Every structure is written in structure tokens, then in C-alpha cells.
Structure 1
Amino acid sequence: MRRTLTMAAVVAALLVPAGPLPVAGAVGGTAPVAVGRWSAREAQSFWTAERMASAAPLPPAPPDRVDPAPPELPEPPEPAEPAEPVEPVEPVQPTEPVEPAAEIPVATPPPAATGLPLPSVPPTATPAPTPATAPTPATTAAPTPAATAAPTPTRAPAPPTPAPLPAPARAAVPPLPALTPGIGQNFDGIPVAGRMFLVKGGGAYFCTASVVSSPGRNLVLSAGHCLLGSDTQQVAFVPQYTRAKPRPYGMFPVLRDAGGHSKIWIDPRYRSQGVDRAAALDVAFAQVGPNTRGFPVEAVVGGNRLVTGAGYAQARVTLIGHPASAARPRVCVNRTTKFTSADARIPGSFLRINCTGYPGGTSGGPFLTRYDARTGTGDVVGVIGGWKTGGDKADTSYSSYFGADIRKLYEKAVAGAKAGR
């Protein structure tokens, strides 16, 4: 099946309690969110555990869907400079010529605060010897009136400097289950991946998303078709969502600009040409605000490194997604191969992976290489999406190829997130 629900399943999903949302901004007694505002507290008030549990995977998008929304957020006046030099990626031996691999630099945490340095004191000058001179007759100095002391200005005491927030506790990374290549298993998830909740057309929906390292430590990555549309509202990311523990690390709202539009970056061609014609660009980045404790998402759960130009054939990819009505996410490992479309209506080449049990809801799930079990992060080389929005069968998934276009989109998101601070 397609990576989204069939129409019958959509109707059924929208009939669950709290599924249909007649007014997206004021459901269940929640006050409408002010234009330009959408904080973690507001997101948690809106996305209750019951509403998250009843959210459905996105319904199928029409193949010729064109987004009438403004194609891009305002660009900053100057491009942002990279925070760090680009790190080299381990060489990949592709089966055919591809772009040279390059890795997006990982933002390093700011150094620990230290006391302000004391002003340097210049060394005391040694007085030069004065030449001997003939004695001069003593003179009587005229008495000078006592100087009037200038009033000392009274300064109000400086307000106390607020104590810095304690560093967030390091997210615990559960071990992955024993995996057989190509066989998906439900598991308790990893902190860096989770569900992206949103309201669209009056309904509560979700996709899968993951944190991607960035200088601002505030970007998440998903599929373009998940976040497409001017009616996409109340968007929030929940790391390591499970029904038993719906907010283990809090909720991170996708920020809005002054006009009330969610800060999401999708290639303009994907918006204008539609989900099939521009399937090779089915990728989206979103800027999320801090959780209710004030911490950025990457500081709490870590982030994957975005890698572009790594090739289509990867020997071992870890695939994570949140399937339809499952209470927990799903994980699988397998190799990827190159798939080139023969359908002129859906042009392009894509990464293809065979993993069982990835239906609707898993769209946006990361393709991870070099997964590190200690940190729970890896190199993200794809997301479920692209060919027929991620695949027309639950056991085979696809991703748009991460090449120069995706790198440029990431750089635009980094610059836009920096300009918005």
C-alpha cells in the first residue's frame, strides 16, 4: 500500500474520539493560540496524551497536490557562515558515480560558563633617575582653600544575575533488540527519533521525525509530504513517543513566524510541482522551540549528522518509524539499493530498503548509517518518502536521495533558524 492511509482507513481513523477537530485552534476547550505564538506549554496543553494516542497517519495526498502557501520563509539578509569546518565522512564505495560525500558539521555545545576575566593591571613603571640640579631657594606656597569634596553618585545595586539552568539529564539510550536483516520489530524507541504531531484539515495526524544536528541545536527532519500545506498547524515534535510514555523528554513546538506560519523549509519545487512530479525532493526541515524547561531539543536527546552525497548502496541502514496505530515505534536493519523510476509521472532515483511492517505513520522516519548504540545517533542519509510518498507496500520503503539539493535546503534552514533568534 501507499505510505499513507487508504480512504477507508482515513474515514475510520477520523472517527476515533478526539480525532476530528472542528476548529484546530480551540478544540476541547483549549484557547486559540495567538498568531505568532506557539510555546511548549501551549503545545502540551493542546496535544494531550489522549489526542496524541488518537492521532492518525496522514491521509493520501493527491498526486498533483500543489501547495498554495508562500513557497519559502523570508530569507535572512546574509547567508549564515558554517559554525565549524566540515568533517570528512568515511569513504563510501558506491556502485556507480555519485556526488562526493560530505558531512554537515555537528554543533558543539557551548563551553561552560566561567567568571569574567579580571582587567589586566599594567606593570608599575620604575621612575627614571633625575639629574642633580642646583638647590633653589625655598618658597612659601600660598595657602589653598580646602577642596570641596564632590558628591559621590549613588548607584542602584545591579539586579542579581539569574542562575543558569542546570544541564538537562543525558537521555538514556535503550539497547536495540536483536535484529534479523529485513525483519522489523517494535521496540521502545530511541531519544533522537519520535512523532511529529500536526493538525491538517481539522484532523489530528502524525508522521515520524528525527533531530538533525545544527548550529542552533533546534532542527528536526521529516518528509516533505508530512508538513506540506497552508493548513498545517499546531505542529510539535515528541522524542521517543510511546503510548505508555507519551512525553518522556517533553514536547518541542515547531515555531511560528510573525505571520503565524510554521517555520518549515521545503524545496519550492516540491510545493509547486506536487508530491509525485517532485518526489525526489520529499524532505522537510523544521525549527523547534525549547521544551517547558527551556532546553533546545538537541541538548536533551542529541542529534543525527546529516550526510549528503553518500551514494545509494549502503551495507547497513537502521530504519526507524512509527507505524499507524502501533503503541511503539519500529526498528529494522538492512542494506539499501538504488531504485530508478520508470514512471515519467514520478521521475528520479531513490534509496530502497526492504523492511517488514512500515505502513502509514512511518513517513519521515530516518535512514541511519553508522548507528552508535552508545549515543543513540548516526548519520542520516534519507527519510521514508519520495517514491509514492515512501512506498506502495508496507515491506519496502524508499527515500529521496540526499544530494546537493538537500544540502542547500539544510543550509537554508540553518540560516533561517539563526536569523529568527
Structure 2
Amino acid sequence: MLAVLVAVALASGGRISGHPRARGTGDTSRGYHLPDPAEGDRTAANLLGAAPTDAPSAPAPPVPTESSTEVEPLPASEPLQASTIAATPAIGALLRGGDGEDPEHFCTATVVQSPNRNLVVTAAHCVYGDAFTTDIAFAPGYHDGVMPYGVWVPSRIDVDPRWVTDGDPAYDVAFLQVRRPGSDERIETVTGAERLAFGSSPSRPARLVGYPDDEDEPIGCQNTTAAYSDTQLRFDCAGFPAGTSGGPMITDIDPANDRGTVIGVIGGYEQGGDDLTSYSSYFGPDIAALYDRAGTAEVSPTT
């Protein structure tokens, strides 16, 4: 049922299909990569050119800017089974689509607040197997083949070096700086962004969201997270298949704008789990340090 990620030193099944390929520069020993801008431009053009011709042409839905002092109650889903939910602007699908290939989405990612305002979070195994995967793009708010907020390609990818060397499930988190080819827009100004929390209680009511690779709409489920170990969170809910890797665990959701706080992403133990339980690397000091590095590194959005 779960697709196998082909990766050095990783034998467990993940919730993606591996597609390692890297062009560009960087320092693998330090856990970062700067993708080739020309490759990103080609990937974006290919994906935009392959968009369905019968897709709705209406402008993207406006992104809510209001906020409230309330948080949405997140009672456990009944039954504990993922089901289709409406797409939201800051959560979307990671897609691949090289020359002559039909576009396909294979993981999930989320725009998060950062000093450089260009950052998304996903699982490390979505972007690093035995090399960095760079012929990819992010489509926030993706649904039914429509990319309402455009196509964004990575300009920098950051993972913990211990993921590179050991595939340690404690570090199955990646941050991607992204850019929209031909534009100097920052993604936060287009989609809004979720907050991040580090060192939070492992037991929190949360909503888990992901894009199955055989569906064109996101799925979601609500339950209370729990500690699986010192480095792992668990979320019990059935029905998160391949494609949902990198999907966010979100708590403290503001009902006025549907944005909240990301406390984990599908990955970690068993690269995300099985049909009944999803996992995430715990967002502790090491993930906070990775975020600080990625969120303050300045890469030109037009690079």
C-alpha cells in the first residue's frame, strides 16, 4: 500500500515515491542545496503548460487577513478516518513534472511564517533520498488540477545533516525557500502563512492534512497528538496514504482565517507511519535551529 522511497540507509516504506535528482550547488555535509534556477524555471513552465485546459479560470480566492482571539475547537473525528476537506491557501501539494512528463503530486507542504517570508515546511524524505530532489514545485491551495496561487519552485532546501548521513527519523523535516518564476513576490504575501511552535506539549488537539497522490483534493482528520518517543509524535487516524508525507499537524486554528500553528509534519518514524497511525519528528531544539537557519538565509526571490 505504501510506496517505497529508494534511499541510502533507509529501508522502511514512505508515503512518497522516490525521485532523487539534483542540479545546482550547496553543501550536502551541512544539509543545504541551492537548486539550479534554470531547472526551476523549466519545471514551473512545464507544470503550467500541462495544467488542464478546462480548469476554472476565475481569480484565486482572496486570502483572509482578519484574525480573532478565538481558536477553533478540534474534537476528534468520528470515526477516526481521514476524509476530503476544502483546500486552504497556505497548504498545498509538491509536484514534479519534467520535460515530457505528466505532472503529478507526491508530497504535501505548508507555508510558514519566517523572516524571509518565502518558507515552506515538508518532510525531509520528500526532498532528500540519496540526493536532493530539485525538479519539483509547490502549488499552494492545489485542488482538482488547479493551482490557484501559482507555481513556486525551491531556491534553497535545508535539512539537518544527520538526515543526510543517517536518515535519522528524529530529523525528518525540511524547509524550502521558494520563488515564483518571473516575480519578486514573497509567498507569505500571496497565501498567508501558518505559525510554527517548538518545544510544545506532545499532547495537543490537532488537525492533520495531506494530499493523497491519487486524489486531487486534500484530506483531513482531527485527534489529539501523543508522544511516541522523545523524538516522535503520533497521530492516530486511518487513511493517510502515499502523497500525504510532509502534511502538517495544526493546532490553535483561528476560525476567522483558518490558519493555525504547525507542531509537526507527517514523517519521522517509518517515514510517516501506516494506514492507522501517522508520525512526525518532534519539533524540539534541533528542528528550531534548522528553521532559524532556513528562515534567515536570504536568497533572492528572482534568483
Q: Give the structure-1-normalised TM-score.
A: 0.55
Q: CA deviation at 1:214?
A: 0.6
Q: CA deviation at 1:170?
A: 3.6
Q: 1:264 aligns with which of 149, 157, 160?
A: 157
Report the equivalent of 1:386. Answer: 268
Q: Take 2:250 and 2:223, find their aligned partners in 1: how far apart are those partners?
A: 11
Contact 1:40 1:292 in 2 (8 A): no
Report the equivalent of 1:365. Answer: 247
Identity %: 34
Q: Take 2:182 and 2:254, find their aligned partners in 1: how far apart are those partners?
A: 28
Report the equivalent of 2:222. Answer: 333
Summarize the Cα distance change of 1:377–1:293 in structure 2 as closer, same or farther, 3 Å threshold: same
Report the equivalent of 1:410. Answer: 291
Q: Take 2:189 and 2:157, find their aligned partners in 1: how far apart are those partners?
A: 21
Summarize the Cα distance change of 1:369–1:46 in structure 2 as closer, same or farther, 3 Å threshold: same
1:153-210, Cα deviation, whole Å (9 max, x unpaired): xxxxxxxxxxxxxxx984269x9xx98353321123111100112469x986521000
Report the equivalent of 2:88. Answer: 190
Report the equivalent of 2:278. Answer: 397
Summarize the Cα distance change of 1:43–1:373 in structure 2 as closer, same or farther, 3 Å threshold: farther
Report the equivalent of 2:123. Answer: 223
Report the equivalent of 2:175. Answer: 285
Summarize the Cα distance change of 1:231–1:400 in structure 2 as closer, same or farther, 3 Å threshold: closer
Summarize the Cα distance change of 1:271–1:6 in structure 2 as closer, same or farther, 3 Å threshold: closer
Residue 324 of structure 1 aligns to which amino acid in structure 2? D
Contact 1:337 1:351 in 2 (8 A): yes
1:124-164, Cα deviation, whole Å (9 max, x unpaired): xxxxxxxxxxxxxxxxxxxxxxxxxxxxxxxxxxxxxxxxx
Q: Which has the larger radius of gyration?
A: 1
Structure 1 or 2: more strand by fraction? 2
1:230-249, Cα deviation, whole Å (9 max, x unpaired): 3512221100111252x111
2:159 equivalent to 1:237: no
Contact 1:335 1:353 in 2 (8 A): yes
Q: Take 2:51 and 2:276, find their aligned partners in 1: how far apart are those partners?
A: 28
CA RMSD across the alignment:
3.6
User: Counterparts of 1:141-160 in structure 2 under 5 Å?
Assistant: none
Contact 1:198 1:232 in 2 (8 A): no
Contact 2:150 2:180 in 1 (8 A): no
Q: 2:207 aligns with which of 318, 326, 342?
A: 318
Q: Take 2:260 and 2:200, find their aligned partners in 1: how far apart are those partners?
A: 14
User: Counterparts of 1:88-103 in structure 2 under 5 Å?
Assistant: none
Residue 161 of structure 2 aligns to which amino acid in structure 1? P
* Unmatched runs of 5 consecutive residues or more in structure 1: 15-19, 26-34, 53-167, 256-262, 341-347
Contact 1:195 1:322 in 2 (8 A): yes
Q: 2:110 aligns with which of 201, 210, 213?
A: 210
Q: Give the structure-2-normalised TM-score.
A: 0.75
1:215-244, Cα deviation, whole Å (9 max, x unpaired): 111000000000004351222110011125
Contact 2:116 2:296 in 1 (8 A): no
Contact 1:38 1:253 in 2 (8 A): no
Q: Take 1:383 and 1:296, find their aligned partners in 2: how far apart are those partners?
A: 23
